[in-house]
Structure 1
């Protein structure tokens, strides 16, 4: 019983075999997935997936890379979609200082507005953080994100950053990178994360785990992530699958 808490099955990389990819995930024991819509194009396709499959849920938000494209009406659109029974979080939102597509000040403004919306609607948030640990933490604190909490998607920070996020009520989610031989820091952090705050994901089609690194990722590969997490934690695959699925159900408010 596995839960892929962050995937992009609506991506064009799956246009030729989407149904088969989803079926393979189910065969691997994936019982639930959260597909993430993060801009004007992917939010509708995410909603379509969530409405088509009873075991696929949706997170909707505006990605920092696309922050410069966000308009006032888009925030209202997200707010409306959050009333849908299959929408379980606002995200992925945050900061990305790696790709130079949206100015930092615009990213920060869009990030703050979406945290405000989440607090208003009492929805958890899914955080994208790339090369922006200090500013992400600063904004989460200033905007009182601890009131709603959420998920630090594909966590890549230090244990010091992890402790700050945990203290603000966030869960830490890990994906393919923990399977990489040279990924020392995420492995060390995962070992220290309390069992009730640990989540697993794929971020498919990106961040493919070993031994398929370099190829397209799939939600079914969350089993490979779970196997590595179980090894690092010193527990069985069944135990890690059970506890991370239970955590995800509670975090997303899924019965």
Structure 2
């Protein structure tokens, strides 16, 4: 079986108490059939630091982007973003999007930078990793306006209802579920997970955040994506192996990953 953690902040794991190094993290993941992860960056400095920290590995891919909560003047440079996005080791643009959780945030600037991620994604044919919080309508409007269906992408850590999922699916996006889907009271999300077609579904940990049951409240890690996969397989009443095969194929299709999986 082959599982992929499609969204992980691997540089933020606890390397003082819980893990020796990145190799230790990946060894733990592979004992649970998690053989590939996407290391997601939230600032341009974060990208440079994380690629230096991890080095060149076949089992870790990279994205580059500017998180909507990291857009102060010191943390973004759109020319540099474009330059980094062109690199061969970058498979996606993001984490990008809109976050209106704090009324003081600069919505206009968030929207401007989100649009630029879409333009770059379309230019280089690299998919988007989209974060949205309290910004459903604006997120969808900007994706449509920017013709984001051209490069496609994923709405990561999805927490909304099936109607929102359908709109995103119609745009050509994938839906990714995190550990939140395993929470007992996440009834709306359970229904959404049942609704999303198997060929448009991804799984992620969003490590070190949002650990799934039975690790809720503890630090998350890529190995735990299996628990998310198992839970969604039960929701859909399918075998785990079928879900693993589908989500792996979806990941490889979306992120244009065509290396032999047997080598990982």
Question: Shorter-chain-normalised TM-score: which range?
Answer: over 0.9
Query: Which TM-score applies when normalising by structure 1?
Result: 0.94
Q: Is it true that 1:246 corresponds to 2:244 in the alignment? A: no
**Which residue in the other structure is 2:114 paired with?**
111
Unaligned ranges ≥5, structure 1: none
Match in the other structure for 1:33: 37
Instruction: Kindly tell me the number of residue pairs found equivalent between the two proteins.
Output: 254
* Cα drift, residue 7 of structure 1: 0.2
For 2:5, the equivalent position in structure 1 comes to 4
Is the contact between residue 40 and residue 64 of structure 2 (CA under 8 Å) also seen in structure 1?
yes
2:48 corresponding residue in structure 1: 44
- 1:116/1:2 Cα in 2 relative to 1: closer, same or farther (>3 Å)? same
Q: Is the 8 A contact 1:68 1:102 kept in 2?
A: no
Shift of 1:50: 5.7
**How many Å separate the matches in 1 of 2:11 and 2:80?**
19
Which of the pair is proportionally richer in helix? 1
Give the CA RMSD over aligned residues: 1.7
Alignment of 1:116-131 (within 5 A): 116-131=119-134
**Structure 2 counterpart of 1:67:** 71
* Displacement of 1:41: 3.3
| Structure 2: distance between partners of 1:32 and 1:192 | 26
For 1:52, what is the secondary structure of its paired residue?
A: coil
Residue 101 (structure 1) shift: 6.4
Q: Which residue of 2 aligns with 1:79?
A: 82
Unmatched 5+ stretches in structure 2: 259-264
Residue number among 211, 216, 236 corresponding to 2:214 in the alignment = 211
C-alpha distance after superposition, 1:188-230 (max 9, x if no partner): 1111111110100000000110111111000000000000010
Which residue matches 1:198?
201
Q: So what's the TM-score if we normalise by structure 2?
A: 0.91
2: CA distance, partners of 1:45 / 1:116: 25
**CA drift at 1:12:** 5.4
Displacement of 1:83: 2.9
